[in-house]
Structure 1
């Protein structure tokens, strides 16, 4: 078994994570993945007698080859590790703990562009209609699905909503996204109507004590991301949707359907909370693929 990171390396990792948490307000999940990447690198370094602040470009290339050949990690995983490493060594350089950045001449691996999984508009309608709205949990789930699709939220943004985040009079929901960036998103009449009904009929029955959590679990506390993932998979089975769904699938459907109906790409970028337009541009490729499939299916000479 590979040794643990040395105390010196562990201190460097902890200090860097504290620094970027303060500077960038990264999520716990992102910080955890960065910690894992660097600790695995530090373990490899301990075997090869090289500490993180003494790594050369050659050492880094050797580790990348080890990841590829022996651990068989994907190009996407390696790209994430390099992104993490670049930020880590830029910080070490800025703090005058190293004199040269070992990542400076390392190129990220080429990644195959993968289109996000989405749903047709008909599939979305079937999914939204699946929950039993006569049951408080079913009405809660229906409302959560409606808001997820109407607003294109990340699942963590949805489960962290509190009462004060929703303004039904103005028809908007306030979301605190990645990097603690706040954005306002229109609810739409349909989602607003379901939210009013849920707040009136189901939420009081789910709460076991006073709370500002908008969508409590059946125990009355804030729902976890994993719980909602299981709920959406359950309703997909009920709806007869065979695709492997995740809460992110409805976010992809939100963006794809907006673009299919002529929405401006920059508007979609703002609604999704993307800091870079290139992240949003993937949905234009999804729309193009959809048009190709429709052409191939219906054109007599396709």
Structure 2
């Protein structure tokens, strides 16, 4: 089978069997066409002529051209899927892409939001209304603690120790951790628990959830996402719960917080996850070093 015919068959499979969108189909077509053009330059036009070393050479070419890891990984995924289809169509006897390894994804510095913009976000809910007071308390606690959304909506009233200024959170792997909530988080959580929550709670209900929806039951992750999207839109920004979590860690580290303490508050089991915050940590480390180490001064 000619590779061009194999591509037509593959595109029909994507459309008719997998039901992919036109956009996805177009993306696969572009990636595989680039690969087939590379093969044709080397005289490879039939499926049976395609060998593993051709795929390795194509991978090397992309790296030489400076393609990003994300682009390379996407193209390799498309090629793997295409080769698998050719095997199923018996156009080739074996899959030449089996040993082809995609590069690790590029590590990006987490997107953070300035404290001023987060303050503006926190001011959006109408705290004169029960729902608005609930929303303010949720946003305050999210920024004050760096919780994941799943952890935030899973909180029960008993988990928030206002008198002691911390909350108990059940995180990944069932690990419980204690997180400070700060004065702002404590103030708005208290106002919500004492004022708005009883109004949202159904009469006679024994619901334990801290944050309730309009039905008086536990607010869902999807419900929180909609709430955050609304307030972020009001200030013309795209803000995700994850960006607030990153900002929580970033702002602490920028102001000299201990790395291990931040790691504990985030609920990270290992130190590798904190490495992404090194740009925030380094300036402080240099400042501390130059101020305190006897051999750091220029006159030595």
Per the shorter chain, which TM-score range? 0.5 to 0.7
> Is 1:179 aligned to residue 181 of structure 2?
no
Q: Which of the residues 215, 222, 228 maps onto 2:224?
A: 228
Contact 2:145/2:265 (<8 A) preserved: yes
Partner of 1:119: 113
> Is 1:218 aligned to residue 228 of structure 2?
no
Change (3 A) 1:233 1:286: farther
Contact 1:116/1:286 (<8 A) preserved: no
| Separation (CA, whole Å) in 2 of partners of 1:177 and 1:234 | 27
Q: TM-score, normalised by structure 2?
A: 0.61
What is the aligned residue count?
A: 200
Partner of 2:153: 159
State the shift of 1:272 in Å.
Answer: 0.2
> Is 1:69 aligned to residue 65 of structure 2?
no
| Separation (CA, whole Å) in 1 of partners of 2:277 and 2:78 | 30
| Separation (CA, whole Å) in 1 of partners of 2:252 and 2:236 | 21
Partner of 1:47: none
Instruction: State the Cα deviation string for residues 180-208 of structure 1 (Å, max 9, x = none).
Output: 11100011112111111111110011112
Partner of 2:162: 168
| Separation (CA, whole Å) in 1 of partners of 2:166 and 2:206 | 24
State the shift of 1:110 in Å.
Answer: 2.6
| Separation (CA, whole Å) in 2 of partners of 1:127 and 1:134 | 16
Secondary structure in 2 matching 1:220: coil
| Separation (CA, whole Å) in 2 of partners of 1:65 and 1:189 | 50
State the shift of 1:115 in Å.
Answer: 1.6
Change (3 A) 1:167 1:108: farther
In structure 1, list runs of 5 or more residues that go unmatched: 5-57, 73-104, 290-302
Secondary structure in 2 matching 1:173: strand
Contact 1:128/1:145 (<8 A) preserved: yes
Contact 1:136/1:206 (<8 A) preserved: yes
In structure 2, list runs of 5 or more residues that go unmatched: 1-12, 18-51, 57-73, 83-98, 284-300
Contact 1:228/1:247 (<8 A) preserved: no
Secondary structure in 1 matching 2:151: helix
Q: Which of the residues 89, 97, 104 maps onto 1:110?
A: 104
Which aligned runs of 4 or more in structure 1 are off by greater than 6 angstroms? 105-108
